[in-house]
Structure 1
Amino acid sequence: MRLAQKKILKRITYEAVDTQEFEDTYLKMMEDYNIKSNEWLNSLFKIRDRWAPVYVRVCSFQVSDVVKGKEGAFRKQVVYNVYTNEEEFDIKCSCQLFEFRGIICRHICKVLIEKNVNDIPSRYILPRWTKDIKRMHTYIQNCYDDPQTNEEKLRYNKLCSHFTKAAELGAESNDKYMFLMNYVDEAIGKLMDNTCSNEKFKPMLSEETNVPHQKFLSPLKVNSNSISINLDMHHSSSLGFASQCNDL
């Protein structure tokens, strides 16, 4: 597929407002470039409801957006439909920004302003964008965390360090792997059942650790003057031995 065709396919995929526009522009592209016999494009079109964003999105007012070019010239005008349900106070926009990113679009905000709605409904404020969210998936410190949780982070880091070492040893053989997996599964079960608090854990000692270690002491300190005297005595004795040999 050529670069120009890729750009057109990308524009059709992400800029189509509704399913009818997507299908019309997709078929027109295949006709203009004479690629109706392309098996790959035909197979994509058959399963378009599985991958095209316009089909995946959850489906009034009309809000128009004008897209300007680099030089300020009007290039394209798109009309977005905003659907409202005043009984349940449900509001949706055809641009589907909220369904994709969890942020209400400016089109919805425009309609809320026109309806004199001063507060955004809580259903449209996702916890991920609030500072009060409890981050269960990470132990990375940030400015919103309570300083009292530092001990929990330290314990987490120490456990990760030990688990990494255990994983390296457990991967050496299948026997070690099965032993470690069974041990970890049992420990996880006790932790989830909160039965570990009543048990007194004792460190597992191997035969090697039970053998008393020999204690090595530091060498005795020797005065530097005595070392020089001993060296002088040794040197003089060696000279005397040499003179005796010469006399012989």
Structure 2
Amino acid sequence: MSIAIEEVFPNSHHRLCLWHIMKKLPAKLGGHAQYKMIKKQLKNIVYNSLTIDECDENWLKMIEEFNLENNDWLKSLHKERNRWIPVYVKDKFWAGMSTSQRSESMNAFFDDYIHSKTPLKQFVEQYDSALKKKIENEKHMDFVSFNSIMPVVLGHLIERQFQNAYTNNLFKLFQDEIRGLMFCNASLLKEEGTTLVFEVVETMLGKNGEPVREVSFRVHYTELHCQLKCVCRLFEFRGILCRHVINVLIRMKVIEVLMNYIMDRWRKDIKRGYQSISNIYDDYGCDGERYRYNILTPLIQEVQQLGAKNDNSCSILVEMLKDTKEKLIAIDLEHSRVEQLKEVSTSGAKVIHSPLKVRSRGRPPTKRKQSKIEQIMKKSIAKARKKGVAGSEACSETTLAVLSEILLELL
């Protein structure tokens, strides 16, 4: 497998699963009289070594102390140590992975939908359902990251910078390092030209929360370009700034880190390439961005293949793409300007509409119960209008008729 990987993926990094190796300890060394001591020292070498020299030195001491020079299994492991011991591989980016992570793989994801005895027809249907669920979950997580804000722990400007950039899940991991600051103490050790070397002493806690030991970490800080490097190499290995580096940044009163320390793969405002691939669950018409993207993708790939055939074609294509890019940027800016002008013109000439007619509370006037006086006045006014009396005469005659009717009713 390693030979095939080196041939097919020459620029990749191949590792052995740390969990599987450590799982074989009882089978390979369980018969030794001092097995428990060997296991304890081996775990300390594997998990707690900060430098390669420290790892190699402790390994040789363990071999000599327990007379393990003839153990073929340990010999093979030491020969392949650059493929599995964490201190040898931490200078490469692994997104924090040290094992094959079978429990988190795609196989485990589909276990809820299919099993070894699933018929072929049902397999296709269940596979379809599982994939749809995965897409829905990812879109939901993106929505949550965009529309909710994780509360800060320290409240420092650096923490707020990562709060605005990272997805919620990654910001939680970053906050674990923020919480670890209370156990770290940084002090300036020496100066090497323009680089400051700090010693960060971290107090390690046991299972009961009691201090177990203190570990010293070296952090190199170049103020000119704000370059940082810690001996733990958490950023190189996992893509997250460690508590030791953050401690030095706060000590140096840095309020914002460079963008190269905020990985694009962890950002919530980055559109990932695989999200542009169409699938059967997308609901889009013939005028959406995804539809246009799917039209352009195969054409651009064909042009790319033609341009990569020789240097002349490549240079011509590069110039054409640069010119096309500038034109598209200009068109986009013009379109944005036109949209802004439309919004301004629309907001400046607002149409004022009449207020909506709202029914008043209570019984409608036409159905309201009238008093005796109102009934008499209404009849009198109607009689006056029938006689054709108008103007002031109508008013006086109506008034007299009303008063007469009221007096008669009262008597």
Report the TM-score when normalising by structure 1: 0.53
Pair 1:73-2:73 in alignment = no
Q: Which of 31, 35, 44 does residue 68 from structure 2 map onto?
A: 35
Report the alpha carbon displacement of residue 110 of structure 1 after superposing the two structures with TM.
0.5
Question: In the alignment, which residue of structure 2 is the partner of 1:203?
Answer: none
Paired AA for residue 135 in structure 1: R
Report the alpha carbon displacement of residue 191 of structure 1 after superposing the two structures with TM.
7.1
Report the alpha carbon displacement of residue 137 of structure 1 after superposing the two structures with TM.
2.1
Q: Which of 301, 308, 311 does residue 192 from structure 1 map onto?
A: 301
Question: Are the counterparts in 1 of residues 90 and 234 from structure 2 also a CA contact under 8 Å?
Answer: no
Paired residue secondary structure (2:273) = coil
Query: CA separation in 1, counterparts of 2:298 and 2:275?
Result: 22
Q: Which of 76, 79, 89 does residue 56 from structure 1 map onto?
A: 89
Paired residue secondary structure (1:137) = helix
Question: In the alignment, which residue of structure 2 is the partner of 1:23?
Answer: 56
Paired AA for residue 271 in structure 2: K
Paired AA for residue 14 in structure 1: Y
> Structure 2: where are the runs of 5+ without partners?
1-28, 93-196, 279-283, 304-411
Query: CA separation in 2, counterparts of 1:61 and 1:34?
Result: 39
C-alpha distance after superposition, 1:123-163 (max 9, x if no partner): 1000112111111124699xxxxx9998849x99xxxxxxx
Question: In the alignment, which residue of structure 1 is the partner of 2:174?
Answer: none
RMSD between aligned residues: 3.4
Question: In the alignment, which residue of structure 1 is the partner of 2:161?
Answer: none
Question: In the alignment, which residue of structure 2 is the partner of 1:104?
Answer: 241
Report the alpha carbon displacement of residue 189 of structure 1 after superposing the two structures with TM.
6.9
Q: Percent identity?
A: 39
Pair 1:45-2:78 in alignment = yes
Paired residue secondary structure (2:274) = coil
Report the alpha carbon displacement of residue 190 of structure 1 after superposing the two structures with TM.
6.0
Q: How does 1:1-248 map to 2 (within 5 A)?
A: 1-2=29-30, 4=36, 5-6=38-39, 8-58=41-91, 60-138=197-275, 152=290, 192-193=301-302
Query: CA separation in 2, counterparts of 1:130 and 1:151?
Result: 22
Query: CA separation in 2, counterparts of 1:70 and 1:57?
Result: 26
C-alpha distance after superposition, 1:196-247 (max 9, x if no partner): xxxxxxxxxxxxxxxxxxxxxxxxxxxxxxxxxxxxxxxxxxxxxxxxxxxx
Q: Identify which range, 63-72 or 115-124, moves more after superposition.
A: 63-72
> Structure 1: where are the runs of 5+ without partners?
142-146, 157-187, 195-248
Query: CA separation in 2, counterparts of 1:192 and 1:48?
Result: 41
Paired residue secondary structure (1:26) = helix
**Residues matched between the structures, number:** 157
Paired AA for residue 193 in structure 1: E
Query: CA separation in 1, counterparts of 2:277 and 2:47?
Result: 35
Paired residue secondary structure (1:134) = coil
C-alpha distance after superposition, 1:71-92 (max 9, x if no partner): 3433221101001122332110
